[in-house]
Structure 1
Amino acid sequence: MASPLKSLITDSDRYMASFKRYKECSIVYQGMQEFMDNLLPDLLPSIVKGKSQLNVLGVGSGTGDVDLQLFSTLHQNYPHVTVDNEVVEPDPQPLRIYRDLVSQTPGLDYIQFHWNEMTLQEFQKQWKEKKINKKMDLIHMFQVLYYVVDLEGVISFYQSLLNKNGKLLITLASCDSGSVRMREAYKNQLCPGETNPSTGKIKKLLDSKGVSYKSYILPSDLDITDIFTEGDENGEMLLDFLTNSYHFGKTASPELKAGVMKFLRRPDCSVESDGKVTLKINFELLVLDQLI
């Protein structure tokens, strides 16, 4: 029997509201900022060496928060370098927010933006059909591989776009994260279509192909206390985001909802202290070099 659940990504307004709530309750951007401040500067010298311009590709850039963090770090360290930036984002709402953010942020004249309202698969198809030979110095894919069936094909394609000394950055939740454990346990009852990959699956794929990579852990615990307050709208939006379901609390069966909420409180998924429930999530960033 088909699941009564509808994917959250089918309703852009609800998705954006749920994502906003997730960002408010998570330290993911704190972990990302630590990466930008402490780790990215170590990666940049080999990428920038001998160049006055970098070609950058952001896949699934959303509202541009991470992109502009990255460019800020780059510009602080290499103020002479300009950026040619391809933005790939299928949802028009966050893409509009990104464009507005760019227009309202001073000092971005060193960046040229190219806006591509399409999925990463559509971008890949267009790139091949037009036989574009432009190479990228930096490609970042932050939390965007959740709906990709052909992981090997997609990763190989984007890795093939790298220039010499270019880097591909892939960020997903690690396999020991509470959210990944829950979705794996209920994958047959939640919305179809999401492949729920973790970096564990990607590393296994890369290892099988003999592809080298570097790995960095970005802590990203999430306060899910509101989920357990019946009728709390903030909690409902968090639950939507974690299950990738549109109004999960209203459309899931009572048994599924109870099972998911009980699973999220398991000791291997979350920590409870002083009335607060914190979901244990680690994001892992993988750095890949040019495909040889």
Structure 2
Amino acid sequence: MRTLEENYYAQTLAEFIRCCDQEIVMLNWIRTRLPIYLQGLHWKRDRTPLRIIGVGSGNGIMDTEIAKIMLPYQRDIDCTAIEPDIEELDRFKRRVNADKMLLGQVSFDWNHCCSEEFEGTLEGNKRDDLKFGTHLVHMLQMLYHVRDLESSLMTYFGQLDASGLMLITLASKQGNEMQAAFQDYERKLQLDKYPTQRNQKRYSDDIIEILKRKGIPYYKENVVYRVDVSECFKERSKAGAKLLDFICLTNATRVYQTLAGTNRKALLESMSEFCSKDIEGRVTLKLSFDAILVYKTPRVNGLKV
């Protein structure tokens, strides 16, 4: 998938986070649903710490929440965090230092690198701290960015302990009004005539296809959130332009860098057909991601979720 210039991409991402409730919705899912999937995992209660790998940890808000949920299972927890953005990693460290619940019980190994660089350290059991298996691997909204989706997925799956669990979240086509708006826009402009512009946008379907082909059982939950796109409809809004650029990059069927003039107007017209407007005048679109949970060893008695 093509990307915007790095600094500008960070600005557009920040605008997207500000305008949507994805972070709140995901935190709520982790707090209420993840504990259910952890039930029945036979982790030894001994001196060996529970091991967690967070791939694409960002500022650590999800990583720290997951670590807290796992505290009742074991006294000591080792978290390995992988994040290529040094500023985000610094925010992560400050978050941990300010959280008394984590201090003394959870240790963190921060890795300033991309996923592929970290995967290279796993080859041939070069990582002594992880050679005994990992109890939980989580990859939240980050598999859009790896070069080889299947290779990365199977590398981390291979790190799981026999009783380990992998949690993946990725955009879903189910209940995604933004994707529907783009499909409408592209149909009107007959962009199917330009196949070379097709984006390599990844969806949860791509993960599931790999898991099915490998014969790996999984559970899936669709999770809905909303984004406020009101600023996008304000012609001179810089915030709206950034938000629309991020949306074009991450939700389009085909590749867009920026939109201007008639193309921007045409897309907004398509978006307006799917938007909802509340009593305060805010214009929103519904998006969704799938939470995919994969056990290293299939559950013998199934799982009631």
Same structural fold, with TM-score higher than 0.5 when normalized by the shorter chain: yes
Q: 1:187 to 1:271 in 2, by over 3 A?
A: farther
Aligned to 1:29: 23
Q: 1:197 to 1:250 in 2, by over 3 A?
A: closer
Tell me how far apart the structure 2 counterparts of residues 236 and 73 of structure 1 sit (CA, whole Å). Answer: 38
Report the alpha carbon displacement of residue 73 of structure 1 after superposing the two structures with TM.
Answer: 2.4
Structure 1 position 72 matched with structure 2 position 71 = no
Q: 1:123 aligns with which of 95, 105, 118?
A: 118
Tell me how far apart the structure 2 counterparts of residues 91 and 72 of structure 1 sit (CA, whole Å). Answer: 24
Tell me how far apart the structure 2 counterparts of residues 183 and 249 of structure 1 sit (CA, whole Å). Answer: 11
CA contact 2:51–2:77 (8 Å) conserved in 1: yes
Identical positions, percent: 25
Aligned to 1:3: none
| 1:53-72 alignment, distance < 5 Å | 53-72=49-68
Report the alpha carbon displacement of residue 287 of structure 1 after superposing the two structures with TM.
Answer: 0.3
Aligned to 2:177: 178
CA contact 1:137–1:166 (8 Å) conserved in 2: yes
User: How many equivalent pairs are there?
Assistant: 277
Aligned to 1:286: 292
Tell me how far apart the structure 1 counterparts of residues 106 and 192 of structure 2 sit (CA, whole Å). Answer: 41
Report the alpha carbon displacement of residue 62 of structure 1 after superposing the two structures with TM.
Answer: 0.5
Report the alpha carbon displacement of residue 196 of structure 1 after superposing the two structures with TM.
Answer: 1.4
Tell me how far apart the structure 2 counterparts of residues 209 and 163 of structure 1 sit (CA, whole Å). Answer: 18
CA contact 2:68–2:102 (8 Å) conserved in 1: no
Provide the secondary structure at the position in 1 that maps to 2:164. strand
1:9-49 Cα offsets, whole Å, 9 max, x none, are 611xx444433332232221232233223211112233463
Q: Which runs of 5+ in 2 are unaligned?
A: 299-305
Report the alpha carbon displacement of residue 130 of structure 1 after superposing the two structures with TM.
Answer: 5.6
CA contact 1:249–1:257 (8 Å) conserved in 2: no
Q: Which runs of 5+ in 1 are unaligned?
A: 1-5
Provide the secondary structure at the position in 2 that maps to 1:165. strand
| 1:211-226 alignment, distance < 5 Å | 211-226=216-231
Deviates more, 1:218-227 or 1:126-135: 126-135
Q: 1:56 to 1:273 in 2, by over 3 A?
A: same
Letter in 1 for 2:261: P
Deviates more, 1:129-138 or 1:144-153: 129-138
Q: 1:264 aligns with which of 233, 258, 271?
A: 271
CA contact 1:147–1:195 (8 Å) conserved in 2: no
Provide the secondary structure at the position in 2 that maps to 1:148. coil
Tell me how far apart the structure 1 counterparts of residues 192 and 259 of structure 2 sit (CA, whole Å). Answer: 14
Report the alpha carbon displacement of residue 273 of structure 1 after superposing the two structures with TM.
Answer: 4.5
| RMSD (Å), alpha carbons | 3.0
Tell me how far apart the structure 1 counterparts of residues 210 and 246 of structure 2 sit (CA, whole Å). Answer: 27
Aligned to 2:87: 93
Tell me how far apart the structure 2 counterparts of residues 137 and 230 of structure 1 sit (CA, whole Å). Answer: 49
| 1:190-269 alignment, distance < 5 Å | 195-244=200-249, 251-267=258-274
